[in-house]
A and B are shown apart, each in its own frame.
Chain A
Amino acid sequence: MMMRMPRSVHITTPRASYEELVKQLRIPKARQRVLRERIEEAWKRMLAVDAPQQDDSTQPKEMSESAAVSR
């Protein structure tokens, strides 16, 4: 049986601003600072971990066994 695709909506309205969305959450400013700093630190850590992998990707790779065989 063929599966049909569910319907989708195309959103063309501009995104709500960050400040507007934060305001809706009603989180005290001091707590916002703590949470924001944690996310920023986690992002820096993630970039640091990913960085060597990204550097690797720019290096020429050895051909995988299956790719070598297919040739």
Chain B
Amino acid sequence: MKVPLFPVDPEAVFLNIPYDPEFQKLYLAYIVGIYQLGLEPKLASGLPGGERRLDRILSLIQGCRYSIHDLSRVELSVAPPATPRFNMPLELGLTITWAKLNPKRHTRFLWESEPRRLQKSISDLDGTDAYIHSGTVEGVLSELRNAFVRKDSPSIRRMMAAYRLVEGEVARILADAGTSNVYAASVFQELCFAALNAAQITSSSEL
């Protein structure tokens, strides 16, 4: 089967993360950190559901040069019936296949909160090392700097300052959008805009 080649955005980073309230801080850290490293986060949350959703997710992955798969919260849902969360491993599987077929067009990164847990949860990935953020904002920012190395990377202090700026705006952005869902498409767009401005404004400081 011949797969059509999509144009790849060299700055785009597909974020495969859990959309739950407990993950909010780390979600913000990813957005802020990715912009500070001169890249651009992409999220599937805004894509409509239905049978074509998976096609759209695949298209989104194909258009991104990089992807981050945070498997730190692949666990049983609290609400009954207890169900394992398969969306993230499913999207990781799609990405692995795509990257395998097109290694020059896509690079994927795995993220976890605990060392060696990945070897237990997805043993087929043994040999793939994950970035460990330890469930902290600083951990995410610091590991982003390690994954995406640039000569002009901002300091962690500057990254944390930008994070604090964006975090301070979340409540107002949510209120303006009339939602409590930080993963909603319009909220994501505005968080991205806030992160982009925070990156710009802090870049001129001596932090």
Is B38 a contact partner of A22 (Cβ separation < 8 A)? no
Bound Cα distance from A12 to B172, whole angstroms? 36
When C-beta atoms are compared, the residue in chain A nearest to B189 turns out to be: A25
The minimal Cβ–Cβ distance linking B109 to chain A, given in whole angstroms, is 7
From DSSP, what is the main secondary structure of chain B's interface residues? mixed
A61 within 8 A of B: no
The minimal Cβ–Cβ distance linking A50 to chain B, given in whole angstroms, is 9
B194: A residues at CB distance < 8 A = 35, 38-39
When C-beta atoms are compared, the residue in chain B nearest to A44 turns out to be: B201
Is A35 a contact partner of B193 (Cβ separation < 8 A)? yes
Is A6 a contact partner of B147 (Cβ separation < 8 A)? yes
A12: B residues at CB distance < 8 A = 150-151
A25: B residues at CB distance < 8 A = 189, 192-193, 196
Name the interface residues of B70-86: CB closer than 8 Å to any CB of A: none
A42: B residues at CB distance < 8 A = 165, 168-169
A4 within 8 A of B: yes
Bound Cα distance from A32 to B196, whole angstroms? 11
Q: With A16-B38, A22-B196, A25-B193 in contact, do A9 and B148 touch (Cβ < 8 Å)?
A: yes
Q: A1-25 interface mask toward B, CB cutoff 8 Å, 1 = contact, 0 = none?
A: 1011111111111011010011011
Is B109 a contact partner of A35 (Cβ separation < 8 A)? no
Bound Cα distance from A25 to B192, whole angstroms? 8
Number of residues from A at the complex interface, CB < 8 A:
32
Is A43 a contact partner of B202 (Cβ separation < 8 A)? yes
When C-beta atoms are compared, the residue in chain B nearest to A36 turns out to be: B197
Q: B103-126 interface mask toward A, CB cutoff 8 Å, 1 = contact, 0 = none?
A: 000010110000110000000000
Bound Cα distance from A31 to B125, whole angstroms? 44
Is B146 a contact partner of A8 (Cβ separation < 8 A)? yes
Bound Cα distance from A38 to B168, whole angstroms? 10
The minimal Cβ–Cβ distance linking A13 to chain B, given in whole angstroms, is 6
Beyond A4-B129, A26-B189, 15 additional pairs, beta carbon < 8 A: A6-B129, A9-B148, A10-B150, A11-B37, A11-B38, A11-B148, A18-B200, A21-B40, A22-B193, A32-B193, A35-B197, A39-B165, A39-B166, A43-B201, A46-B165
Identify the A interface with B (CB < 8 A). Answer: 1, 3-13, 15-16, 18, 21-22, 24-27, 31-32, 35-36, 38-40, 42-43, 46-47
Identify the B interface with A (CB < 8 A). Answer: 10-11, 35, 37-40, 66, 107, 109-110, 115-116, 128-131, 146-152, 161, 164-166, 168-169, 172-173, 189-190, 192-194, 196-198, 200-202, 205
